[in-house]
Chain A
């Protein structure tokens, strides 16, 4: 029983978050944030979402392939080269805080400068880490 509950716990947590988001999606869909990547910057490099908000990040490159990794989450994807489409991922601001994102594919001499931050603002309820 205990093991079953342990298995169910993350599912319930996600379902709760997702069902809220799903209801929002059914009505208007998640907010889409366009991010452009270019040696050696993301624009915008600072993105703010509300706690519990789900956003769709749409990433497009203006030059070569870049990586997009949000440190501390499972997000890790490649942004295709200029003119080859875009990559998307969704981000749910479940826990307030600052989440650094970065290019994790070597893109030139200034590669390590290519970073940004996702800020999850706590809701008025004041829940946070």
Chain B
């Protein structure tokens, strides 16, 4: 009897011990240190996002474009050292010396996660500017195409090689600050501002380094406030000039229940723009008419009109954008008013699944030239994340 009793008691102890192990794994998380690597996947699954679009402007043929095919890779050397990579094919087809498409390495960095307040990141980085540049998965934003302001004022997707720090200081205050490669001022132009100047980590010239930083405040429920800056000398191609570039940006997002509001303001200053225009004009025969300041802003209101959960999930939105890549001109240059534009964008985003977005929108794109016609555009798109 005694032996049987002991065996039963030992059995109960063993069951109890196993229960502890099970509870530690699945039940209450005991606040005690165990192996920090436990439960951490060494290699993440393949993730990515894709989007293809139908674009139709009045008086023009429609265009079907597989705009983006993006794969994200991740690997954890340990819980504190991690790699993230993002490889993108734009417009489906890439051919040498053609403008057909782009194969881009948009992110490839290693994070050294030291503490909540201070972490180090190095590699190919996304510039921490604005709402869209770091949050550009198709289900995340409304509209088939990204906002104009986040295309021609903040040149998303804006990425380059660099290194820096990031962290959260507590009470919802986050920061990131990087030293990165500068822009190439020879590639600036009147229509798209600084967009062409991105070196994209391809044998970047770093005669001067640029600096970029962003702070975000997430301490209030439903609200995110952000402020960003990018500053650098872009004179390596024009050593006798001093075309410094400064980008300042402010943004806010508010989401509560069915309502989401977004707003963004961005301004770009280009130093020595007059001499830059003269220099490029002498080299190529035509002045690029680069402005000394570019400015853009937008406000967007979205409402979830069908809120029963996917596949009964529909958002309607309206966005007003104002963007001018000729906002201020250097002395002796006149602005090209066709690049002083505003856009009324309205449309819907339907979510058959939270990670799949079917989008449709209409855009009235107006310019201030009085010569170039205003445009009406209809866009339909399908985007997904996995």
Contact = CB atoms under 8 A, between A and B. Distances in A.
Interface string B56-77: 0000000000000000101000
B29 to A, nearest CB: 4
B385 interface: yes
Secondary structure dominating the interface of B: mixed
Contacts of B385: 64, 108
A95 B355 contact: no
A83 to B, nearest CB: 3
A4 B290 CA distance: 81
Given A63-B139, A91-B29, A95-B33, A109 B134 contact: yes
Interface in A91-105: 91-100, 104-105
Interface stretch (B37-45, B266-274, B319-327, B332-340): B37-45
Contacts of A118: 31
A126 interface: no
A71 B310 CA distance: 32
B74 A108 contact: no
B28 A45 contact: no
A74 B36 CA distance: 9
Interface residues of A, number: 59
Contacts of B26: 74
A117 B355 contact: no
Contact of A73 (B31, B44, B45, B140): B31
B309 A84 contact: yes
17 contacts: A39-B135, A63-B354, A64-B354, A70-B29, A73-B32, A74-B29, A74-B38, A74-B39, A83-B308, A92-B30, A104-B40, A106-B74, A108-B47, A109-B126, A109-B134, A112-B111, A120-B31
Given A4-B10, A81-B353, A81-B354, 11 more contacts: A46-B171, A54-B28, A61-B354, A64-B354, A74-B26, A75-B29, A76-B38, A81-B310, A92-B28, A104-B39, A113-B176
Interface of B: 10, 13-14, 16-17, 19-20, 23-36, 38-41, 44-45, 47, 72, 74, 79, 82, 84, 86, 107, 111, 113, 116, 126, 134-137, 139-140, 166, 168, 170-172, 174, 176, 218, 221, 224, 255, 308-310, 313, 353-355, 385
A-B interface, 3 closest residue pairs, ranked by CB to CB distance from nearest: A83-B309, A90-B28, A76-B39
